[in-house]
Amino acid sequence: MLFAGSKALKDAPYMLSTVEDMKKLTVEDMEKLLKNYVQNPNYVQFVAEVDGELVGAIEFKSGDKEKISHQGSFAMTVIPEYRNYGIGRTLLATLINWAKNNSRVEKVCLEVMEGNIGAINLYKTIGFVEEGRKIKGVKLEDCYQDLILMAIFV
């Protein structure tokens, strides 16, 4: 995520990016990411602020190839002290509303670690369904987690 810095990744065991990953990004990397958002109408990012502080974000990117451009995936994060206040639900509702009004986007996809029960339940209540799994898709220090593939048609 463009905004995700060490604060957003603190106490975030279910995020695929790490603080170390973010430290590797250069200014040129960030400029390239921002340019991609400007150039592609099917890339979008929404942010959540509380009292002027950035507390969450969701980003969506559709497929770049014609045959898969009708679908895309998102990543979302909310900084730890603002979790469980409905910010993630609001970000997700904003994204789905945007997708419904985008003539190219038909399907919104995600990957979530199997242990992230709160997120899985949120996605299910919104209407996402499980489409499959990437077995041992994430390697942690002492174990693996499957990545659950979920999607909703808009």
The angle formed by the CA atoms of residues 42, 46 and 51, to the nearest 5 degrees, is 165
Domain count, the chain: 1
Cα–Cα dist 135/130, whole Å: 14
Is the residue at 1 inside a domain?
Answer: no
The angle formed by the CA atoms of residues 56, 109 and 49, to the nearest 5 degrees, is 10
Is residue 19 scored above 70 in pLDDT?
no
Give the residue carrying structure tokens 């639900």.
89
Instruction: Name the residue type at position 81.
Output: E
- What phi, psi does 8 have (nearest 5°)? -70, -25
Q: pLDDT tens digit string along 89-122?
A: 999 999 999 999 999 999 999 999 999 999 999 9
pTM for the structure as a whole: 0.79
Q: What is the pLDDT at residue 35?
A: 72
Q: What is the pLDDT at residue 64?
A: 80
Q: Which CATH number is 119's domain given?
A: 3.40.630.30
Give me the domain span that covers residue 70: 6-153
Is the residue at 79 inside a domain?
Answer: yes
At residue 52, the 3 state secondary structure works out as coil
Q: pLDDT tens digit string along 37-96?
A: 676 778 899 999 999 899 999 999 998 889 999 999 999 989 989 989 999 999 999 999
Q: What is the pLDDT at residue 13?
A: 59
The angle formed by the CA atoms of residues 132, 136 and 142, to the nearest 5 degrees, is 150
Is residue 2 scored above 50 in pLDDT?
no
Is the residue at 117 inside a domain?
Answer: yes
Is the residue at 149 inside a domain?
Answer: yes
Strands 71-78 vs 107-113: parallel, antiparallel or unpaired: parallel
Buried b (16+ CB within 10 A) or exposed e, 112-127: bbbbbeebbebbeeee
